[in-house]
């Protein structure tokens, strides 16, 4: 998968800046534990850390193309292009020759052949930089759905960029500052496209190329969701979805390293696991290896709540038995979840406070356990956003609210402790007034609505559900993709997301809502497209989100840690907190409804300490 970074400066000689570039590159070493390299030219400095997945020996980077002793193009590349074999064959027929078997070299030659329009030919997840020394021009390219991250910081004479904010922040010209808008973005559950939280820093938009030359920076969108008339009937639609899924999964099983699937026992991950098992069996290379997360005594002591009606364990094991996978449970206990080193590790991985609390830590530990056996994992992420799986897709009060549906459904208070209301947050009332979180959310909601592509005939519920789908694909899904990328790459695990193939997303986005819910349930089309390869217990299971520990010792450990913070008058987060609410949260017995805010506050404090953040509020 890899980590990338670099620096373009048209007013300095960067061949003398190896030490700075090396420092930037080392910040993303976790993303590429197998190798590293730098490339320096007068006005361009590119760094790379490699996670070797395809062409182990030949795919080293930064990679260049030379002709007659002259460098034509150089790249630092992260990701996978799943159709690279077809592209390579086409390029070879056009006279291009290759010295490696990597998809990275195919990307280089694709640009040389087709110019900036080459991005439309790529199928995959990627974030990369291309430096053309002939034109002294840099291209920063991000995949269509924003699966892989890419950040940049414009400077007076160029740009600084990296896979993660920490790579950019490692440059001496960049100051780690966060203003009121950045803090609001961090606390709310909006994920504004392009927003990077840090002042002056930006994120390359999904489906976008940022060009950097002596005239400055310009962005060009090469892909976006479009509204199109859906003319297929139900049977044809279901068949087309199955056809796409089979092709997507088969493509994403290509790797020169051990590969596995993430299996929760829900419809999404089970469908991917079953399709992978069939594809591997057909190729004579099974069985598929599967992994699931569990907590000590979680199934035995499980208590249903508004979000989770059933524990994952029994369902994951049922699917594993059905497809005869080589299944493994990664079982975590409270001590592991509260271990300061583990909590600090996921905070470093995200470059932000871990607002999902134990969900962040457990995901990191799951990936850490998987990495001992596999280098690549396929995930069921994004099916809910594409097929309408979340319960608030089906709640009229959430669907028709004048805000993001997940906010109307009060889901965000579970994950972000700042916007659940004054009575459930530890943040100071004056700070909340300054940030105006409801106003910030409303502004971002209006901006998102203005982007939605529509058909002239869209009316009533169909029109609104197109909006709801778009909001989830461009905002909600981005939060989860970023979280999964950071947690996995922190341990050098590449996670692939088959449901994010742009062909599937384009197709399903334009299927009418009435057809998406033809059986009166969530994810009707996905269930219909995969029911024949799933046991009924899985196909009929109601959506259950990623699990969270219910061990009361975890909540008590949080209170203990918060009490230590409250006793530290020099804690950087103290000026942001409500003293009276802090007392209630640390009192014996505490308040369970303050747990999300406690997680946020502890995360904020660790983040402020580690990065030396200047808050400009």
Catalytic residues: 2
> By the 8 A CB rule, do 31 and 51 touch?
yes
Residues 168 and 415: their CA atoms lie apart, in Å, by 27
Residues 83 and 414: their CA atoms lie apart, in Å, by 39
Cβ partners under 8 Å of residue 296, min gap 6: 331, 332, 333, 334, 551
CA 575 remoteness from chain centre: 31
Residues 163 and 140: their CA atoms lie apart, in Å, by 11
- Closest-CA residue to 518 (of 235, 309, 245): 235
Query: Cis peptide before 287, with omega less than 30 degrees from 0?
Result: yes
Residues 404 and 400: their CA atoms lie apart, in Å, by 9
Residues 234 and 194: their CA atoms lie apart, in Å, by 37
> By the 8 A CB rule, do 103 and 84 touch?
yes
Cβ partners under 8 Å of residue 504, min gap 6: 241, 244, 245, 248, 386
Residues 322 and 320: their CA atoms lie apart, in Å, by 5
Size (the chain), residues? 617
- Angle among Cα 551, 267, 405 to the nearest 5 degrees reads 75
3-state SS, residue 193:
coil
> By the 8 A CB rule, do 150 and 203 touch?
yes
Q: Are strands 376-378 and 259-262 parallel, antiparallel or unpaired?
A: parallel
Residue 139's DSSP bridge partners are: 130, 211
CA distance readout (Å), 416 to 38, 45, 191, 420, 495: 38, 38, 12, 8, 24
Q: Which helix (H) or strand (E) holds 208?
A: strand 208-213
Cβ partners under 8 Å of residue 536, min gap 6: none
Q: Which helix (H) or strand (E) holds 537?
A: helix 536-539
Q: Are strands 151-155 and 202-203 parallel, antiparallel or unpaired?
A: antiparallel
Torsion 452-466-414-378 (CA) sign? negative
Residues 468 and 405: their CA atoms lie apart, in Å, by 7
The alpha-helical segments, DSSP class H, found in 224-292 are 234-252, 267-282
Q: Which two tokens stand for residue 417?
A: 């402790």
Place of tokens 């980590």: 3
Cβ burial of 341 (10 Å; 0-12, 13-18, 19+) is exposed
Residues 96 and 105: their CA atoms lie apart, in Å, by 11
C-alpha torsion 156→161→164→168, nearest 10: -40
């Amino acid at each position: 998968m890899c980590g990338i970074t670099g620096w373009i400066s048209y007013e300095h000689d960067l061949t003398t800046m190896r030490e700075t570039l090396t420092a930037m590159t080392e910040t993303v070493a976790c993303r590429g534990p197998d190798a590293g390299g730098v490339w320096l030219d007068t006005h361009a400095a590119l760094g790379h850390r490699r996670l070797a997945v395809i062409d182990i020996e030949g795919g080293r980077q930064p990679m260049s193309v030379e002709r007659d002793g002259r460098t034509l193009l150089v790249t630092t590349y992260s990701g996978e292009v799943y159709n690279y074999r077809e592209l390579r064959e086409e390029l070879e027929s056009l006279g291009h020759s290759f010295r490696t078997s990597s998809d990275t070299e195919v990307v280089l030659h694709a640009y040389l052949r087709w110019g900036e329009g080459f991005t439309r030919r790529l199928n995959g997840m990627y974030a990369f930089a291309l430096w053309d020394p002939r034109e002294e021009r840099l291209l920063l390219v991000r995949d269509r759905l924003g699966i892989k991250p890419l950040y940049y910081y414009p400077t007076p004479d160029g740009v600084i960029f990296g896979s993660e904010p920490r790579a950019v922040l490692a440059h001496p010209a960049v100051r780690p500052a966060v203003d009121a808008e950045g803090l609001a973005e961090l606390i709310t559950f909006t994920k504004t496209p392009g927003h990077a939280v840090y002042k002056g820093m930006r994120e390359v938009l999904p489906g976008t190329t940022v060009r950097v030359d002596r005239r400055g920076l310009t962005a060009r969108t090469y892909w976006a969701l479009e509204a199109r008339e859906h003319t297929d009937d139900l049977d044809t639609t279901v068949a087309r979805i199955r056809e796409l899924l089979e092709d997507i999964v088969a493509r994403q099983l290509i790797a020169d390293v051990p590969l596995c699937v993430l299996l929760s026992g829900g419809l999404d991950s089970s469908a991917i696991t079953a399709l992978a098992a069939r594809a591997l069996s057909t190729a004579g290379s099974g069985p598929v290896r599967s992994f699931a997360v569990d907590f000590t005594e979680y199934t035995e002591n499980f208590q249903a709540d508004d979000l989770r009606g059933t524990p994952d364990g029994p369902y994951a094991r049922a699917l594993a038995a059905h497809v005869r996978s080589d299944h493994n449970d990664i079982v975590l206990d409270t001590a592991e979840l509260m271990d300061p080193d583990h909590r600090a590790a996921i905070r470093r991985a995200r470059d932000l406070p871990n607002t999902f609390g134990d969900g962040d830590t457990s995901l990191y530990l799951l990936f850490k356990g998987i990495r001992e056996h596999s280098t690549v994992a396929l995930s069921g992420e994004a099916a809910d956003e594409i097929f309408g799986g979340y319960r608030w897709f089906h709640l009229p009060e959430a669907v028709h609210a004048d805000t993001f549906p997940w906010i109307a459904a009060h889901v965000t208070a579970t994950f972000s402790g700042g916007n659940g209301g004054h009575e459930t947050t530890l943040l100071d009332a004056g700070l909340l007034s300054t940030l105006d979180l409801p106003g910030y959310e409303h502004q971002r909601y209006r901006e998102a609505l203005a982007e939605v592509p529509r058909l002239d005939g869209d009316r009533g519920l169909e029109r609104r559900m197109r909006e709801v789908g778009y909001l989830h694909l461009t905002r909600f899904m981005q939060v989860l993709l970023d979280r999964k990328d950071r947690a996995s790459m922190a341990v050098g695990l590449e996670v692939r997301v088959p449901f994010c193939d742009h062909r599937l997303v384009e197709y399903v986005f334009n299927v009418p809502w009435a057809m998406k819910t033809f059986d009166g349930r969530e994810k009707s089309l996905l269930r219909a497209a995969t029911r024949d390869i799933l046991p009924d217990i899985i196909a009929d299971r109601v959506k259950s989100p990623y699990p969270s520990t219910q061990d009361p010792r975890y909540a008590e450990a949080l209170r203990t840690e918060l009490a230590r913070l409250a006793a530290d008058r020099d804690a950087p987060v103290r000026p942001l907190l409500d003293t009276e609410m802090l007392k209630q949260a640390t009192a014996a017995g505490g308040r369970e409804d303050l747990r999300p805010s406690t997680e946020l506050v502890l995360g904020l404090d660790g983040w402020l300490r580690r990065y030396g953040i200047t808050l400009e509020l």
